[in-house]
Structures are given as structure tokens and as C-alpha cells.
A and B are shown apart, each in its own frame.
Chain A
Amino acid sequence: MAGVKMREFRRASARALADDKLQSFLGRSMGTFDGAREEAIEELSRQRWDELRERGRAIKRHTLDNLDYYLDMLCDRVSQNGGHTHFAKDSDEARRIVGEIARARGAKLAIKSKSMVSEEMELNPFLESMGVEPVETDLGEYIIQLAGEAPFHIIAPAMHKSKEDVGELFEKKGIGLPNLKEIEAMADAARVALRGKLIAADMGITGANFMVAETGTVALVTNEGNGRFCTSVPRTLVSIAGMEKIVPCLEDLAVFMRLLPRAATGQRISSYVTHVSGPRRPGDEDGPEEFHLVIVDNGRSNLLEDPDLREALYCIRCGACLNACPVYRKVGGHAYGWVYPGPIGAVVSPALAGLDKGKELPYASSLCGACKDVCPIKINIPHMLLKLRSSVAEGAERGGTKASLGERLAVKGYGWLMSRPRALSMARRLGRWMQWPVARRGLIRRAPVPPFSRWTRSRDLPALAPRPFRDLWRRELAEEE
């Protein structure tokens, strides 16, 4: 995988923290959707929201636990609708499938609505290499396609670009009039530039927010209307989906259509939800003549087979955990080095691209749990990050590299100490005595010896309190009862 740079998280995040422009942008704009999200949830009532989350979680759990069964059903129903299903075990196979469909249909111009899987499989360069022009039609995706960059955020791929950046980019690429200043004018310039492509395209490529096994339906949640173009105008339609995107029953969508837009943007519903059930029928006035569904594994099996990590596949890609994460909010999406950033990315990316490549990512978290709290499916991300850290530390994963001897000994020693109260109390006393040259006002800003010195490079270490809580409790607090 050429684009994988996860190994560099530490360096990339340091670069991001030193980037004044990025920091000022992140400070201004992270959390823009927080208020809207809270409002949309309050309106529904917290209790109802929680019921929906539980329901969504139960549906996902059941489906993933029986994924082979539902894949089989989905495939049957897609055929019954007159569509074709293709299975890809990895990115390479997925690219070749889409390429073969394009070749067989003589496609020259492919319009795409947002698809994370197509980013994952680096579809665009592949299509270009075979003479098919891929055009991203979601405004954010269009901007990063023009800029030749990776998405910064799952929901808002170009959110790191200021309007000045976009204005400059458009001018360089000849989109709209030169010297655009207003966001509306830029959006309009992109709309005009893309309209011709949307009308002329002979192939439409979409992702899938959900696939319904019962009816062979693909559901797309969009706001701009480009998803509707992609599914209406070109004569060939290809939807690409990670194999985990299935729900069993059409009525299940009532749950997820309430969860996804609220969690993603604080909308009660998106401007458009498009449900595709196969190609146009004989009585239809328009629509694609052919419908192809490409179902992709590409490492998802690694999550599926591990009961501790399986729930990472419950993710509906709303991006809420990114917005809530104190690490993401400081380093931004590009530091994660791959298609899926943020807390869920730190779990998914190593599994999809290999833990050896992504072994820094499970550490890109303070384990504060904010991601789990906001997740509409209540995915226990901190638990999975811990599990991955322990896999990294034990070097258990295929092709993984072991943690250093020192680190393994330190972790073992910590475990030993924590289960022996008397030894722990002695160690604390020793620590309090040893810390006095470096502790100031309850903090150690720069510890002189490893492993503490590495910790204090980017944060302060809280010093041990002068009197332990146990001691306080025993002598003073407990008496007040």
C-alpha cells in the first residue's frame, strides 16, 4: 500500500503541533458541529437517543456475528433485483473488478460520490492508468482531489483548507473566475465545473452507508445531491462497500437513519437519502442499465476473527469520535497517515494495513473515553486500543515487531506492583523521596531518567501527592461519616 504512512505518527504529529497555521485552524474550527449534535440529540431526548444507540448496536452485533449468512442473503437479493455482486479479498482485487467493469462497458468518465473504501483501495490512480477519468463530486473530495491530498476527516475531507487555500487552488486549476473570495462563490464555481461531468458521465461510482440483506438495497446518505446524480445519470453504476456495512432488514434503516446524521453533523436527516435496489426496471424512465455491488474484505477479517476487535466493524463512519478526541483535535487527520484517522482509525487502520505498519496508532490516544461516549453505536474504542497495545507489546501479531525488553519489563513490573498493596506503598514512599528535586507545584515538567523522560517530552507528569489519599482517608475524611 503505497500511501500508508502510519508508521510515522510520532513524527507527523510533532510536525502538526509545530504547524502554527494548522494549530490556529484546529483551535478555531474543531467542534463546529458539537453544538448542533447536542441539540439534535436533546430534541430527541437523551433516553430515546440511548435506546436507539443500544438498538443500533444490537443490530450490528447480530449481523457481524453472522456475517457470512447475511452476505449470502444480500448477494441473492441483489441478483433478484437484476444487479451483480462481486467479492474482493483485498484492494488489488477490488481495483481490478472496478477496472474490468469500466473496460467491459467502455467507460471514459466516472463520477464518484464519496467513498472511503475507494480511498482505501486507491481507485482513482488506477482508473486514470487505464484511461478512465475519475471525478470526485462531493465538494470536499473534489477539493482534495484537485490538491492531490488525502482526506483530513471522514465527514469533511477538506476541512483543513481555508477559503483562501481553496480560492488559490481553484485559481491554479482554472475553476471559476480568478480571485474568488467568498465561500458561496467557490461552491458555485465547483458546481458549475462539475455539472457538465455529472451529465456526461458514463459510469457512476458510490460507496454505501448501509446495505440491506433482505431487499438487496444500498443506502447512501448525502447532502449535495451528487449521490443522486451518480445513481441516476450514468448507464453503469458501481457501488463499493466494506463487507461490514450490512443490516438484515429494511426496517433497521429507521434506526440508523436517525443515528447517522445526528452523530455526523447534527442534522435530523441529510438532504438526500438514496436507496438503490438494482438497475432500472423495464417500466422506469431513467436510471442505470447495470448495477454492480463490489464487496470488499481487505483486512476486515482480521477484526472479524478477534472477538475483542470485532466491534470496530460496527462503525458507521459518522466521524463523531474524531471531533471528540483530544488527540485528533490537536494533530488533525493527516498525522494518522492513512484513510481512516482519529480514534476509530487507530483501531481500523492497523488491522486493514497491518499492525506492523500501524503500531504507533494505538498509542495516539489518552484513553480518556470521549470517543466511546459520543459513538452512536457505543463502540468501546479505548478497550480495543488497549488490546492492540498489548498485541504490540507482546509482538503477537503476524509480522509485528516486539516492544523493547525495557518496556516489557516495565509493564510486567507495574503489573506485579499493582497487585501487591504493601510493595506499592513502599514504592510510593520511595518515589516521593526521589521526586523532590524535579517536582514543582505538583508537576514534573522534565523528568531526568527514562522512561519518565520520554513521557515528559510532550506533557507534564503529575507528581505523587505529599500525602497519599489512603492516608488522608484513614486519618481525616473517614471520620466525618
Chain B
Amino acid sequence: MAQGLGTPRGEFIASVRRRLGRRAGAPDSPYPALGEELASLEERGRQAMRRLQEGRGALMARMAATAELRGWRVCRAANSEEALDYLRETIQGLSARLAVRSHEEVFRETPVDDLLAGMGVRVQVMARGDDREGGFDPASADVGITGADYAIAETGTVVLVPRRGVSRLVSLLPPVHVALVRGPEVVEGLDDLYLFRRLEYHRRGGDMGSYMNFVTGPSRTADIEQTLVIGAHGPRETHMIILEG
């Protein structure tokens, strides 16, 4: 299906051009952002990083406050012990039997597996590549635990992008999602996020991976009588543990 179905591309685009009464070629008034050189993008990226580093303390506070408003239950953890304490309390309240987690670096610093095993919760890890011996069944899991690639303070959002060991389903199928957010992953606003992702797209020669998911609190619907119901197809309960140390 390499060839497009339907109207041939050239014909369709020529027809649009005709209806616009435009000549072929680039816009008369160019779109400045698209003409930006990689070097300039890199420089803007560096400036944003510097700004974020300088305001780190206030940023963490804002991240936690907004996330709470958007429906996350939030823990600000000074170190991984505090994070694990919070996780223990959370799991205790759930009577969970099966947890799934992605395979990410954050779990090396904050080892959740032993804690969960100690509480009688079976843990399945999204195995790398074809090594799926331990089984991986997010549809049956009571809780899914992930890291984050970014978190956005402006909106209280956790951002997930694909990589080896990360499944899209861990944050989607189980009724409870726990996200571990590390301090440096927090950005101020949507502008920072899209800038960094755009930078990555161009650095990698025009690829930023197959998807990017924003997750902001639990799933919800208000489709019957405009009455808010928390918990639709995605998780009904979401926890954000911010590792500030």
C-alpha cells in the first residue's frame, strides 16, 4: 500500500492550490519557526534548560500543586526511601495482587520490586525485546508503575515516549497508575516540552519516535448529563511520586 489510495497526491494538492488561487512553491510570507536552523533551536534549548535549573525549587512546588489540582495524588519525596514508603501505603490501600511496570532506569534508584514482593504482590516487568519469560499481562494487573520522560508543571502532566522496555499499556490498562517523576524531568510549560521534543526530532534527523502521550490525572467522562465520572477506559486512580533528591 505504498501507493496512496483515493485521489493521487499531486492531483489533490494541485486542486487545493487552484481553489486557493495560489502559485506553486513556498508561502510568500515564510513561517519563521520552520526556517529555524538547528543551531538556533539548540541555543533556545540551552536557555530553557538554564532557566529551569535556576528555578528548580519553585518548579517542584508548582508541579506538585498543579498535579494535585488535575486529580493526581501527589507525593514529594526527598529520596527513594520516602518514595517507597508512599508506594507501600498506596499498595496497602489497594489489596493488589499483580503489578506491572516498565523497564526503566528510575527503578534502579527506586527499587520497587522487593517492596512489592514483600507485600505479596507479584511484579511483572516489561521485558526487553523477546525475553518475556516472566509473563506480562497488564490487562490483569491491579496497578501499573512507570517512570516519566518529562513532566509539565503548567498542566500537571506526565509525558511518556517510546523506548525499549516501555509499554504503552502499563499506564493505560490497570485501574491504578503510579508514575515516578525525577526532578530533572520536570519542565515549566507546554512551550518547553514541545521545544525539547522538536529539538529531539531534528537531532535524530527527523524522527521523534512513534508516539508521545500526555497523561494528566485519572481518565474521566462527563458524557451522561454532563456529570463528571472519574475512571473511564484508562486508570481511575493516579499517583505521582516526585523524586526531588
Contacts and interface: CB of A to CB of B under 8 A. Distances in A.
A342 B17 CA distance: 30
Q: Which of A89, A225, A301 has the most CB of B within 10 A?
A: A225
A89 B15 contact: yes
B162 A272 contact: no
Contact of B172 (A71, A232, A292): A232
B210 A62 contact: no
Given A283-B162, A285-B164, A94 B6 contact: yes
A301 B223 contact: no
Contacts of B190: 253-254, 257-258
Given A277-B210, A286-B169, 6 more contacts: A29-B225, A80-B207, A187-B223, A268-B156, A277-B212, A281-B162
Interface string B189-228: 1110111011001000011111111111111111111110
B20 A304 contact: yes
Contacts of A393: none
B195 A287 contact: no
B226 A33 contact: yes
Closest 5 CB pairs of A and B: A225-B234, A224-B232, A140-B223, A87-B12, A273-B214
A278 interface: yes
Interface of A: 29, 32-33, 62, 65-69, 71-72, 75, 77, 80-81, 84-89, 93-94, 96-97, 100-101, 104, 137-140, 143, 156-159, 161-163, 166, 183-184, 186-188, 191, 194-195, 198-199, 214-215, 223-226, 228-229, 231-233, 243, 248-254, 257-258, 265, 268-281, 283-287, 290, 292, 294-295, 297, 301, 304-305
A268 B70 contact: yes
A215 B27 contact: no
A150 to B, nearest CB: 15
A112 B71 CA distance: 26
28 contacts: A69-B27, A86-B5, A96-B6, A138-B223, A139-B221, A143-B224, A156-B222, A161-B224, A183-B227, A215-B201, A224-B220, A224-B233, A228-B168, A228-B233, A232-B172, A249-B31, A265-B222, A271-B216, A271-B234, A274-B214, A278-B210, A280-B210, A281-B207, A286-B169, A287-B210, A294-B6, A297-B12, A301-B16
A100 B1 CA distance: 10
Given A183-B227, A305-B21, A287 B6 contact: no
Nearest to B29: A62
Contact of B226 (A159, A225, A280, A281): A159
A72 B16 CA distance: 11
A78 B132 CA distance: 32
Nearest to B36: A249
A199 B139 contact: yes
A187 B27 CA distance: 48
